[in-house]
Amino acid sequence: MAIVATADDVVKPMTGLHLYHGDISNCSMRVRMTLEEKGLEWTSHHLDLKKKENISDEYFALNPNGLVPTLVHDGVVHIESNDIIDYLDQTFPDPALRPADNEQDMLEWLELAASIHVPAIKPYVYATMIQKKVQKTAEEEAKYNQLQKNEELKSFHAKHAGGKAFKSDELETSKQILEECFVKLEKTLEGREWIMGDQYTLADISWIPVHFVLIGCGYPFDRYPNITRWANAFSSRNSFRKGITDWCADFSKV
Ligand SMILES: N[C@@H](CCC(=O)N[C@@H](CS)C(=O)NCC(=O)O)C(=O)O
């Protein structure tokens, strides 16, 4: 569980569920979907990533990586979207979004999504779609480098700083990682409605935002019929609408 110790006077007295999130952020999407599936009331604190609203002293005091989402629940700060959805499911168990008998397999899907975020999802999305849209001014760049202490994130963002672009081998590496994951997902979904079988779980909620964002970046999912069938099944779910498309109708247009 990723909890950030805070002495922040603004955060500590907060009651209920407060989500700091971004409309176009796939990590925020999975948390919004989980809140919706559980029917939980939450207060929205929206940050526009294109306006670099996450690059501020106040936000880095809340989330030391300067990333969305951050959940504040009764004054306790939680980061890391896959940990947050697991926390929400354990804290508000009805309806259950984990299988009664095979929790470990489900948690492995969450860990896989978390582990490929920086090496594969972020480079693919930035290289194919958003690096120019989120380009920092020199002033924002300096502020970011002053605030960001996480070397992996610093080095990731340095790759598209000052108009630079991701190299083709970096994009290739990310494509290889994604392919491995989607081959596994395609196989898992053979003859199954959802990733864990008949039951809709956090594994589905963790991965559908990845699909939504990547398809918006032109990722070729047409070679994966089971994934396509699975993704189409979300269109009738309220949580998909309220967690994803109400905030970002089409990632290809961000
Ligand atoms: N591992 C983190 C990743 C969060 C993350 O990278 N969020 C992105 C949006 S999906 C973000 O805040 N990007 C802004 C930045 O990289 O500065 C999580 O799952 O919460």
Q: Which domains are seen in the chain, by residue range?
A: 3-91 (3.40.30.10), 103-237 (1.20.1050.10)
Select from 2, 130, 4, 22 the least CA-distant residue to 69: 22
Pocket flag, ligand 1, residue 29 (CB < 6 Å)? no
Pocket flag, ligand 1, residue 52 (CB < 6 Å)? no
| pLDDT one-digit tens code per residue, 82-138 | 999 999 999 999 999 999 998 999 999 999 999 999 999 999 999 999 998 999 999
**Protein residue with least CA distance to atom 11, ligand 1:** 67
| pLDDT one-digit tens code per residue, 27-50 | 999 999 999 999 999 999 999 999
| pLDDT one-digit tens code per residue, 154-166 | 999 999 898 888 8
Helix axes 103-115, 81-91, angle to 10 degrees: 150
Q: Ligand 1: distance of its center to the CA of 231 in Å?
A: 22
Atom of ligand 1 lying closest to residue 25 CA? 10
Atom of ligand 1 lying closest to residue 118 CA? 6
Query: What pLDDT score was predicted for residue 162?
Result: 87
Per the prediction, the chain carries an average pLDDT of: 96
pTM, rounded to two decimals: 0.97
Asked if pLDDT for residue 7 goes beyond 80, the answer is no
To test ligand 1's pocket by mutation, which of 27, 150, 214 has the most ligand atoms within 8 angstroms of CB? 27
Query: What pLDDT score was predicted for residue 1?
Result: 60
Pocket flag, ligand 1, residue 37 (CB < 6 Å)? no
Residue 56 is which amino acid? S
Q: Ligand 1: distance of its center to the CA of 122 in Å?
A: 8
